[in-house]
Structures are given as C-alpha cells and as structure tokens.
Amino acid sequence: MKKILTQGRLAALIVFVVLVIDQVIKICVKTGMCLHESIHITDWFYLVFVENKGMAFGMEILPKLLLTMFRIVAVIFITWYLYKATHRAEKLKTGYIVCLACMLAGAIGNIIDCVCYGEIFSESTSYTLAHWVPVGEGYGSWLHGKVVDMFYFPIIDTYWPDWMPFCGGDRFIFFSPIFNFADASISCGVIAAFLFYSRTLGQEFQKMENTKEEKQS
C-alpha cells in the first residue's frame, strides 16, 4: 500500500502552508500599518512595520537587482535538489526534507515581495497606509519590490555599564533585528539542519563532489 503523505507531498505541503502564512501576515501589515508603526504586544515582542531591500533580517549586502536574481537562482537550485532528494531510491531522513522545505518556502516568500510588491502596492509612508493598485501602478518595478518585515523581539533591552571601554553607557538590545515569517522559516530550517542533520549534509556534499569528479574524468 502506497503512503499517502510521501516525502515529496510533505515538502510541498510545508512550502504551501508557510507561503500562505507568510503572505497573509505581510499583506495585513502592509495594508494595515503605516511605515515604522509599532504595536506593543509584550515588553519583549512588538510588531514593527519596516521594509528593506536586502537579505534576511534587514541586511543589505548586494545591489537590489543582483540580490533578487541571486534569490531566484537559489530557489531554483533548492527546488531541484529537493525534488531529487524526495524521488531517489535511497530515501533521506524526513526531518532533513522538512528542513529543506522550510528553507525553500522562506526563500520563495521573500522573492514574492521582491518581484511583485513594487507592482501591486502603493508606497508605504509614516502617515499613509499602502493599498492595492493595478499592476504597473505601484511604488516600484518588477524585481525591485521591498521585503516587508514586522517581528521585533527585544528580549534584553539595557545599557552597558559606564566603566566598559568603547561601549560604556551605550544601549544594548538583544535581539534587535526585525524579521518576517519567511526569515524565521529559513533560519529554523538552516539551524535544524546543522544541529540534527550535519552528517546527512556532509554525505550529500560528498556525493556532489564525487559526481562532479566523475563528470570531469
């Protein structure tokens, strides 16, 4: 009897669920909050609406267009690898597949922002809410949309002692980056893969190296 929930179907389900949750949250924040608006949930959890052009957690390393193209290439590679991993005769651990699916879903979620949001939403400002617009009348062009972030967890918010060199008296916040659900999905997938499936990762990298050497010889 065939399994109803195969590894491939499980991966597809995870990607779908994460994408739906991610986009629903982002659209609600984008159309329901002004830019930089903050909603106090608890002393260590806020909803803060910010937009960024960069990578996860608001980092800006590469030019916007180059970063978007890099994301697309990464998604294509992960999708190809995940498909191969779920259709091989020698099955990998299901937990490892779940990690890959979380990474893929998060990457696609942020790509949707970059590719589409500039075309379908008006500009968010500190005084006005964004709204849906006809395609082509948004605040940016294809591939130049901004990623919507909202989760802020200042678990520790204090000041360095005055006697500390260089940073004495400065404010210290942990955890200061503002991120979204897609970022969290990517991070959880990566961390879990390295913590619990480092051996599997090593074996997979070794297989890739062996395949590359066989093709070259």
pLDDT value for 95: 95
| Strand-pair category, 45-52 with 178-179 | unpaired
For position 113, what pLDDT does the model report? 94
Is the distance from CB of 71 to CB of 192 less than 8 angstroms? no
Amino acid at 52: N
Mean pLDDT by 10 residues, the chain (217 residues): 80 97 98 97 95 64 72 92 87 93 95 93 95 93 91 91 84 88 96 93 80 68
Q: What's the pLDDT at 1?
A: 43
Query: Which one of 22, 43, 113, 183 is the catalytic residue?
Result: 183
Note the pLDDT of residue 94. 93
* pTM summary value: 0.87
In the structure encoding, which two tokens stand for residue 196, read together?
């619990």
The verdict on whether 157 is a catalytic residue reads: no
Domain residue ranges in the chain: 7-157+177-216
pLDDT of amino acid 44? 92
Give CA–CA dist 3/8, Å, rounded: 11
Number of helices (H), then strands (E), belonging to the chain: the values are 6, 6
Which DSSP string corresponds to 51-98?
A: EESSSGGG---S-HHHHHHHHHHHHHHHHHHHHHHHSSSSPPPHHHHH
113 is an active site residue: no
Which one of the listed residues 22, 43, 113, 149 is annotated catalytic? Answer: 149
Strands (E), the chain: 38-42, 45-52, 147-152, 156-159, 171-174, 178-179
Q: Is 165 helix (H, G, I), strand (E, B) or coil?
A: coil
